[in-house]
Amino acid sequence: MKKFLLILALMIGLPTSLAQAATAASPPSRSQAFASERIVVEARGEGPDVILIPGLASTSAVWARTASALEGRYRVHLVTVRGFGDVPPGENGEGLVGGPAAAEIRRYINEKGLTRPAIIGHSMGGQIALRVAADAGARVGRVMVVDASPFFPSLISAGATTGDVEPLARLAYQGLLLFGDEALKTQAQGMGADMGGAADSLFGTLGWQGGDRRTLAQGLYEVMTVDLRARLPAITAPVTVVYGWSADDRSPRSHIDGLFRAGYRSLPRPAAFERIEGAEHMVMIDQPRRFQAAVERFLR
């Protein structure tokens, strides 16, 4: 079971130490500020709408390259979930995180009058994107999920259940509350070779930006336990799944093609799958050129 959580941690970009321990009645307006206690949104550029959602403990800064490449041709909406990075948690300081954030993104789409936006979400942000698409129906144009599964433990075992991982997720939740992300950062970086460089990759880039301890712990718990596979049949928008892949048989990422495909098999229309060799969890940072090429194909 410890090995299961260790592999899961590396797959979804978690610190290895965790593996061990405006009003609705207002008319749509693009210029009106959007106030939310769950998310912060920054809009840039003009053109077809693209919404970018970061993952656990990340802010919109992880999308800097992607946004810069798109904003001359698209109107890019950069989402940050409150409580991640330096953004105050607001109402994410208690209760659930992913579901309420998805509801606020749907409200943003409605209030701003966005026309069938494309949504790109990484990791936990990918799950949020799936929630938005399942609930918004035809209001969403297309969805790209980046290194995200509707149920992350299924990337380790197709037969995994929430019950299998919930005790481990509870321990991870308690460990993050106890140690905080700064203590975990120091501990994980000190492990060095034991993580095969994963700690440096995670903490040395924008992948893990920390945040409010309670919000991070809850987000981590949800990433490990939320199972959205039953919601996939409600998604009418086309879905593209992009993920990091390795040709090295010793890497867990060399064996995940079938597991990704199995996770999305209940979509009404088959998903498109793009694996990006040489990328780990932070695909857009690990292989920015290859990732941007995949984004361009997705938006074409």
pLDDT at 65: 96
Q: 258 or 183: which carries more pLDDT confidence?
A: 258
Q: How far is the C-alpha of 92 from the C-alpha of 98, rounded, in Å?
A: 9
Distance CA 179, CA 186 (A): 10
Rounded mean pLDDT, 51-65: 96
Q: How high is the pLDDT of residue 114?
A: 97
Q: What pLDDT, on a 0 to 100 scale, did the predictor assign at position 5?
A: 53
Q: What is the CATH number of the domain that holds 276?
A: 3.40.50.1820
98-103 mean pLDDT = 98
The label of the residue with tokens 């005790």 reads: 167
pLDDT value at position 172? 86
Nearest to 56 by CA among 97, 100, 6, 19: 97
| Nearest Cα to Cα of residue 279 among 154, 167, 122, 168 | 122
- The residue whose two tokens read 């990918």 is 126
Does residue 208 have a pLDDT over 70? Answer: yes
Question: b/e for 173-195, b at 16 or more Cβ within 10 A?
Answer: bebbeebebeebbebbeeeeeeb
Residues 7-17: pLDDT tens digits?
555 555 554 44
Per-residue pLDDT averaged across 24-32, rounded? 46
Q: What is the pLDDT of residue 194?
A: 36
Mean pLDDT, residues 269-298:
96
pLDDT tens, position by position, 152-204:
999 988 889 999 999 989 998 998 888 766 655 554 444 333 333 444 444 44
* CA pair distance 83, 89, nearest whole angstrom: 4
Residue range 30-35: average pLDDT? 76
Per the structure, the count of domains in the chain is 1
The C-alpha atoms of residue 269 and residue 133 are separated, in whole angstroms, by 13
- Return d(Cα 156, Cα 55) in angstroms, integer: 19
- pLDDT of 207 above 80: no
Q: Bigger pLDDT: 269 or 172? A: 269
Share of the chain above pLDDT 70, in %: 80
Residue 58's pLDDT is what? 94
- Least confident stretch, 57-71, 76-90, 176-190, 235-249: 176-190
Q: At residue 30, what is the residue type?
A: R
Q: Taking 90 as the threshold, does the pLDDT of residue 94 lie above it?
A: yes
pTM for this prediction: 0.87
Mean pLDDT over residues 210-220, rounded? 93
What's the CA gap between 33 and 168, in Å, rounded? 40
Nearest to 76 by CA among 54, 44, 119: 44
Q: Is the pLDDT of residue 214 over 80?
A: yes
Containing structural domain, residue 62: 1-300
Segment 112-168, tens digit of pLDDT: 999 999 999 999 999 999 999 999 999 999 999 999 999 999 998 888 999 999 998
Query: Do the Cβ atoms of 189 and 71 come closer than 8 Å?
Result: no
Q: What percent of the chain has pLDDT over 90?
A: 73
pLDDT at position 299 is 98
Region of poorest pLDDT, from 24-28, 171-175, 225-229: 24-28
Rg (CA), the chain: 18
**pLDDT for 184:** 53
In angstroms, rounded to a whole number, what is the distance separating the alpha carbons of residues 33 and 114?
A: 14
User: CA angle at residue 28 from 104 to 295, to 5 degrees?
Assistant: 60
pLDDT the model gives residue 6: 52
